[in-house]
Chains A and B, each alone.
Chain A
């Protein structure tokens, strides 16, 4: 038996024992005086780092220097002056006593019973260690043996560092584990990515169609605000979801589809639109190619055919298609965001894109507008784009627009001892145990690494596997790269500190520059500090740091039309210059030129498909420990239909454990939420819970980490996306015996 080279280091909780059991009278603030006037406090511009929406706002600071609250900036098109609960509760990331506080280095056998431990070290010691290890790896195995896994603002500094170092191996789990397939689906159809924020003109739409998208439970801020506006305007909502989601309850039509059959519904909708001549004839004639092929392709996909697959009644399929047609072109079949479900996700996203093409919504008011953004000048010299002879994606997935984070994991596992492999990870702002499937595989990869550097604000699970931990200050304590958004109009936003960094934490910018110095790459970080860089960038753009500190957000006039006038000569970014209902390039690459429905595995007897999603107050795994947000939802629950519970003699509130089809048993338990709001063939939980990191004192062991039970991955052959929704769970009504693990 091999002992682990890399023990999981338990991180002591900052809270005292019993804190959770006693009624938490823990006050975020030191005093409890009457609220003070906004006029007596200072405010500093920021943009939120809690999720990818990056809403701009103001951090309010009291006279004694305490951060009080964060509110939206009225000039910002992402927040429209209002933060969502996660952003409002973002103050908790600053006050959380569980934060990482000191740079730490792993000490082999330094803990109890010969286990590893962390020791606090100086920044110099930590950074010298990282630089030395990176150089050693580069000398022996090449600089491309060091990879970066990143999410959020820190990437702006660590990406150029890695590139300058000589590694192109940079991946964001947000691509292959989240939104990649929709980019491919829309790119192959319209020649344009969706991007972020999505250019959906929801506030002007007459009909919004959501395929599993749970707007309002995901708090994509401006989009949720526009959804409310659309409700007010009387727009028709059509929601396709096996769960009666919040937005389903606000929809004229809820289609409780049998999970994994969405493509059948989409094909049938196309059939109905074409067969009844309800599609946008003029638009299709002007702007599309392959209509005749599509017509022939969807001819067999009648509503009766789809009913047998989807459980959606033929008359409902026809009626909803008519609603879309009547609203056209002011209709949106929403591309969704997290779309890595069943491995045919690019094709499902393409079917969504094609449906929009048939209705003429691309470029139309109330459909998809054409976004416009502005670039941020970068201080030269730019870091080179290094070439690596090792293709992380293995020549597979020709449409992948990015390096796949899961392939970085795979490329870190040696097939043979002498094979080239990735040997160092720098992980910033992402926790692979929550973002990536197959945790055993991730552990195997980590076990084989020569260097694991984790840069974060909180002790996520990945921290316990690190060789070096670099504590980042929160977004409320630092300057950062300018936010440049491509949306309704070009705009930039400033983030500046509202307080000094607590403890010994530092910004990613500072860390990257310091590492660059030690690696002999300081010429790629030519600025003195973030302030100097920002001021230089802003002056190039005709503004200044001084101006931006006052306004926070600067908006620019569009130079192009939001809803372009589209005559026959209008060129799309596809190879043909037209909307490709038939994709010759997909056919050439050996893929289906038009989407097909494929039946996916069904849950075995006594098992239920595991579905997951978001709650409005939580994002990723990074909010579950945040004081106010944890208070709103301290653990996830399992949504189960009462009919299923009857078979199991279980009831609301009962505590169970889950086991998946591969025998993986959940580490923690979950409470049942008996609800009519879900089909009998699947169960649902909110993502991001069930951490086994004791250092996260408020969230440790609360609920189940869905990712632990996602051990089967259905891979998208077009772009390598990891489909998560082919996993099935059964209930264990008593605490399972802990598996003996080596």
Chain B
């Protein structure tokens, strides 16, 4: 079992529904976010291209955040989901420094918080909130170890890229480009 996500940049319109849905689902305070939108424009008028990405924790295979955590609050659970146990976190921020994706933030209550792939939903057989709400159906979530899962099929079929591969973190979010 290895959970991952594929996000189709060709379909994403950057509407930020994933951001709002996550904030409400997970009680993320207004002013903070576990996921966010990045738009990259290339070229000059009128020869332009635009890539839109919904970004979040990459739930990497090689996790500097977990390695640098002095208390063990940052840990990996079933399916490779990287989580933070709030009451074990001392808010030192070492994980924030070590993450090449800037995917973590310090919650106003003092602990570090981040995307959980909505494991509370996933264990009930639901998609993460961001995936379930996306109006363009541009996000795919599932088991990368299962060759018959929708995500495995689309990752195999389409041209993909990951973010900051040079960091060696082996991210498990794949962008369809």
Contacts and interface: CB of A to CB of B under 8 A. Distances in A.
Given A246-B52, A677-B48, A224 B136 contact: yes
B17 A85 contact: yes
B145 to A, nearest CB: 25
A225 B12 CA distance: 10
Contact of B30 (A27, A32, A247): A27
B10 A250 contact: yes
Nearest to A232: B11
A89 interface: yes
Interface in A224-249: 224-225, 227-229, 231-232, 244, 246-247, 249
Contacts of A680: 45
Nearest to A39: B124
Interface in B7-60: 10-11, 13-17, 19-21, 23-27, 29-31, 41, 43-46, 48-50, 52
A499 B50 CA distance: 42
A680 B50 CA distance: 19
B50 A228 contact: no
Interface string B116-148: 001011001010000011111110000000000
Interface centre among B19, B45, B134 (most CB of A within 10 A): B45
B46 A256 contact: yes
B120 A228 contact: no
Contacts of B30: 24, 26-28, 627-628, 631
A632 interface: yes
Contacts of A679: 45
Interface centre among B16, B52, B133, B135 (most CB of A within 10 A): B135
A254 B41 contact: no
In the complex, which range does the number of interface residues on chain B fall in? 35 or more
A244 B15 CA distance: 16
A85 B11 contact: no
A254 B46 CA distance: 9
B13 A82 contact: no
A26 B52 CA distance: 29
Interface in A194-222: 216-217, 219, 221
B165 interface: no
A250 B136 CA distance: 13
A324 interface: no
A616 B20 contact: no
A38 interface: yes
Nearest to B126: A38
B48 to A, nearest CB: 5
Contacts of A227: 136
Nearest to A33: B27
Contacts of A616: 13-17
A228 B15 CA distance: 13
A244 B134 CA distance: 23
B27 A617 contact: no
B17 A69 contact: no
Contacts of B13: 216-217, 224, 228, 246-247, 616
A675 interface: yes
A249 B43 CA distance: 12
B32 to A, nearest CB: 9
A422 B23 CA distance: 47
A35 B23 contact: no
A91 interface: yes
Contact of A82 (B46, B49, B134): B134
Interface centre among B11, B15, B109 (most CB of A within 10 A): B15
Interface string A129-161: 000000000000000000000000000000000
A678 B44 CA distance: 10
A27 B45 CA distance: 42
Nearest to A311: B46
Contacts of A26: 29-31
Contacts of A629: 20
Nearest to A631: B30
Nearest to A36: B120
B133 A244 contact: no
Contacts of B15: 84-85, 216, 219, 224, 616-617
A641 interface: yes
A23 B41 contact: no
Contact of A617 (B11, B20, B120): B20
Contacts of B124: 37-39
B36 to A, nearest CB: 9
A34 B25 CA distance: 10
A189 interface: no
B16 A29 contact: no
Contact of B27 (A35, A38, A250, A632): A35
A88 B133 contact: yes
Interface centre among A82, A219, A254 (most CB of B within 10 A): A82
A71 interface: yes
A68 interface: yes
Nearest to B26: A35
A543 B130 CA distance: 34
Interface in A66-89: 68-69, 71-72, 82-85, 88-89
Given A24-B30, A246-B52, A250-B10, A628 B135 contact: no
B31 A83 contact: no
Contacts of A21: none
Interface string A36-66: 0111000000000000000000000000000
B27 A224 contact: no
A25 interface: yes
Given A29-B27, A632-B20, A37 B133 contact: no
Given A27-B27, A228-B136, A246-B50, A676 B44 contact: yes
Interface in A605-622: 616-617
B140 to A, nearest CB: 12
Interface centre among A91, A616, A679 (most CB of B within 10 A): A616
A228 B135 contact: yes
B45 A678 contact: yes
A31 B26 CA distance: 11
Given A28-B30, A33-B27, A627-B30, 13 more contacts: A26-B31, A29-B27, A37-B120, A83-B135, A84-B15, A84-B17, A88-B20, A249-B48, A250-B11, A617-B16, A628-B24, A677-B41, A677-B48
Interface of A: 23-29, 31-35, 37-39, 68-69, 71-72, 82-85, 88-89, 91, 216-217, 219, 221, 224-225, 227-229, 231-232, 244, 246-247, 249-250, 254, 256, 616-617, 627-629, 631-632, 641, 675-680
11 contacts: A23-B108, A24-B29, A83-B135, A88-B133, A225-B136, A231-B11, A232-B11, A249-B49, A250-B11, A254-B46, A616-B15
